[in-house]
Amino acid sequence: MILFILGGLFLALCLFAALHDVNSLTIPNWLNLALAALFIPAAVFSGLPIEILIGHVLAGLAAFVIAFGLFAFRVFGGGDAKMIPAVMLWVGPSASMEFLFTMAVTGGLCAMVILLVRQTIPAAVVPGPIRAPFEEKAGVPYGVAIAAGVFMASPASPILSQTLKFAGVIG
């Protein structure tokens, strides 16, 4: 039950991060810290072998190094570069490829939609809560792509799959 609550809170915070990113083109530091910090009790209550949990931590560390590099070259914003390693702690190595693939495809689709809308519709016409990405020279809310990757990869993640099984989402 505790793992279900922790996993559900993690997934809800990922959704909140995506919505916040669309609204303001930022992902707050407290949110990324919460995503990472929730992993600690989830790991304890998961009952998984230490080798698997170490794999999750190593996946998070590798993602941190790569995301920091992408941030340094201004490919990602700071919030995105912090959210990806926090999410990789939960996703782990077994679901990392599905997460990365979904994140990349969704990020590309988001960028294409934003560019198309920017060329065809004035930003002033777009409703206020979702207007930020459609302003001239605004960035892409990559938190949407990160959250999509989390939701698609969750069934392949040892920790998140336990949450989904408890909720009756997967068998």
Tell me the per-residue pLDDT of 96-123, one tens digit each, with 9 for 90 and over: 999 999 999 999 999 999 999 999 999 9
DSSP 73-85: TTSS-HHHHHHHH
Least confident among 4-8, 37-41, 163-167: 163-167
| Full domain range(s) for residue 68 | 2-167
Would you state the structure tokens that stand for residue 37, as one six-digit string? 């910090």
pLDDT at 87: 98
pLDDT at 28: 97
Give residue 162's pLDDT band: very low, low, confident or very high (50, 70, 90): confident
Percent of the chain with pLDDT over 70: 99
* Tally of domains in the chain: 1
pLDDT at 169: 80
pLDDT at 82: 97
Q: Which residues contact 50 (CB under 8 A, 6 or more apart)?
A: none
Report the SS3 class of residue 43.
Answer: helix
Percent of the chain with pLDDT over 90: 90
pLDDT at 170: 77
Question: In angstroms, how far apart are the furthest CA atoms of the chain?
Answer: 54
- pTM for this entry: 0.95
Give residue 164's pLDDT band: very low, low, confident or very high (50, 70, 90): confident
Cβ atoms 132, 110 nearer than 8 A: no
Per-residue burial over 50-59, b if 16 or more Cβ lie within 10 Å, else e, is eeebebbeeb
pLDDT at 163: 87
- Within the chain, residue ranges assigned H as helices are 2-24, 29-46, 50-72, 78-120, 143-153, 158-167
